[in-house]
């Protein structure tokens, strides 16, 4: 089953006039901050209902004082008093804890940015979908970890999913959902990250600081490491499978170091439609924020004459085993994508903390996938149980690698 995101679901109320009420989940992160930057540039078009952040309480206080939401929520329960004191006298309600984040997602906002990184964003994103909101999701893990379940809930509650990842947003803009039988394949482009040409021996020695230094995009640490391993592209293959209802063999990956073509859709008549732009997340966010209209964004305008040339190459399967692991998980189905995502999150955090090396990330994920018994997912509890077990196995696998 796939959701057709291009058409609003029946019963969805799209405001014809007046400001759009929005909630930003993960407002202190890169996607959340860029979303608020666009809202600040269009103050007459948007009213902020709720802002949530994970641990960065100082930034949340600053954002809340600027955008005046009805409520600001910090997921770290221990930061509640700092948040409350920081908002004293503003009239903005303060709340804390993971359940409060879910409650914030369930508040009456027409449009919700699901910008919480990782599996932690699953429950809040579901809460927004279950009240029929327009959900702009930058959290690919929601579909990776709980694809069938998430889409069933979206359909049941007549919500609308708008992809914010630059690649899926690009496809969304040129994907003819009304005539999907004419679509031959889609091509997800990838920059190749900072280690595209690095030898394996050198990759074994890279540091977290090197891994988060993306050559084109400004992103958070976790997604930057995923880009360096190309696991982000593996997760995007799984996300595209669910979002666009395509077969595995219809989803290709092509390295494009300039990050100008953000993805392509190939049709049966030989036409290939692509979305181009400079590498600035405010472009896909603006497309989702203004949908079904477009709004202005301050992104640097594309100058193809200055760029001069666009180059492409196939990904090296030896250098980037994460792509193989993601396709393996997609083909296995059931809980395998959930396990892949959970193990990767743990391994990336282990690498950033200095517990394992860069090349160990894919090795840990592979070890967890191979050790996990086949299982199906029939409920959110099943998803969360598979996620928890995979994280425990990943920590065990990291401990083994650390001893060696």
- Minimal CA–CA distance to 168: which of 238, 217, 110, 101? 238
- Between 365 and 199, the more confident residue is 365
End-to-end alpha-carbon separation of the chain, Å? 44
Q: How far apart are CA 99 and CA 270, in angstroms?
A: 49
Other C-beta atoms lying within 10 Å of the C-beta of residue 147: 23
Is the model's pLDDT at 87 over the cut of 70? Answer: yes
Residue-by-residue DSSP string for 241-303: HHHH---GGGEEEEE-TT--EEEEEEETTS-EEEEE--S-THHHHHHHHHTTS-----PPPP-
Residue with tokens 């909630």, as numbered in its chain? 23
Q: Average pLDDT, whole number, for the chain?
A: 91
The CATH homologous superfamily of the domain defined by 20-164: NAD(P)-binding Rossmann-like Domain (3.40.50.720)
pLDDT single digits (tens) 254-283 = 999 999 999 999 999 999 999 999 999 999
CA distances from 134 to 1, 7, 67, 167 (A): 19, 11, 20, 19
Q: What would the mean pLDDT of 196-213 be, rounded to a whole number? A: 87
The answer to whether residues 73 and 51 touch, using CB atoms and an 8 Å cutoff, is yes
CB 242 within 8 A of CB 151: yes
Cα–Cα distance, 113 to 121 (Å, whole number): 11
Look up residue 332 and give its two tokens. 């296995």
Q: Where are the domains of the chain?
A: 20-164, 170-278+302-307, 333-403
Condensed to tens digits (0 to 9), the pLDDT of residues 129-165 reads: 999 999 999 988 789 988 888 999 999 999 999 999 9
DSSP 361: H
The side-by-side arrangement of strands in the sheet containing 251-255 is 251-255, 183-190, 261-267, 272-276
pLDDT of residue 222: 85
Taking domain 333-403, whether its CATH number is 3.40.640.10 is answered by: no
**Count of residues making up the chain:** 404
pLDDT for the residue numbered 216 = 66
């Amino acid at each position: 089953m796939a959701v057709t995101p291009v058409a609003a679901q029946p019963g969805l109320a799209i405001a014809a006039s007046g400001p759009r009420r929005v909630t930003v989940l993960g407002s202190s992160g890169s996607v959340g901050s860029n979303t608020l930057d666009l809202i600040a540039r269009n103050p007459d078009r948007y009213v902020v209902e709720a802002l949530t952040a994970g641990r960065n309480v100082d930034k949340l206080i600053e954002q809340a004082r600027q955008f005046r939401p009805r409520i600001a929520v910090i997921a770290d329960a221990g930061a509640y008093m700092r948040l409350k004191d920081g908002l004293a006298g503003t009239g903005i309600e303060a709340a804390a804890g993971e359940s409060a984040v879910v409650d914030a997602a369930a508040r009456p906002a027409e449009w919700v940015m699901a910008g919480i990184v990782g599996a932690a964003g699953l429950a809040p994103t579901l809460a927004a979908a279950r009240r029929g909101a327009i959900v702009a999701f930058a959290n690919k893990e929601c579909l990776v970890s709980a694809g069938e379940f998430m889409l069933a809930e979206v359909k049941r509650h007549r919500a609308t999913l708008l992809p914010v990842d630059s690649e899926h947003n690009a496809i969304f803009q040129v994907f003819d959902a009304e005539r999907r039988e004419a679509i031959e394949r889609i091509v997800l482009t990838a920059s190749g990250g900072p280690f595209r040409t690095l030898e394996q021996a050198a990759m074994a020695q890279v540091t977290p600081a090197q891994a988060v230094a993306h050559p084109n995009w400004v992103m958070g640490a976790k997604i930057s490491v995923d880009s360096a391993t190309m696991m982000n592209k593996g997760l995007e293959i799984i996300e595209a499978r669910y979002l666009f209802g395509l077969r595995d063999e219809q989803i290709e990956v092509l390295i494009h170091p300039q990050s100008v073509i953000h993805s392509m859709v190939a049709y049966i008549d030989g036409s290939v439609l692509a979305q181009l732009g400079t590498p600035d997340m405010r472009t896909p966010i603006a497309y989702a924020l203004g949908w079904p209209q477009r709004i202005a964004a301050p992104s640097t305008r594309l100058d193809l004459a200055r760029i001069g040339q666009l180059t492409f190459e196939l990904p090296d399967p030896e250098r980037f085993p994460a792509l193989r692991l993601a396709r393996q998980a997609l083909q296995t189905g059931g809980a395998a994508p959930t396990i892949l995502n959970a193990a990767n999150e743990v391994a990336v955090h282990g690498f950033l903390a200095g517990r394992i090396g860069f090349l160990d990330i894919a090795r840990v994920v592979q070890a967890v996938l191979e050790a996990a018994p086949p299982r199906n997912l029939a409920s959110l509890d099943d998803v969360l149980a598979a996620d928890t077990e995979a994280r425990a196995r990943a920590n065990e696998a990291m401990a083994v690698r650390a001893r060696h």
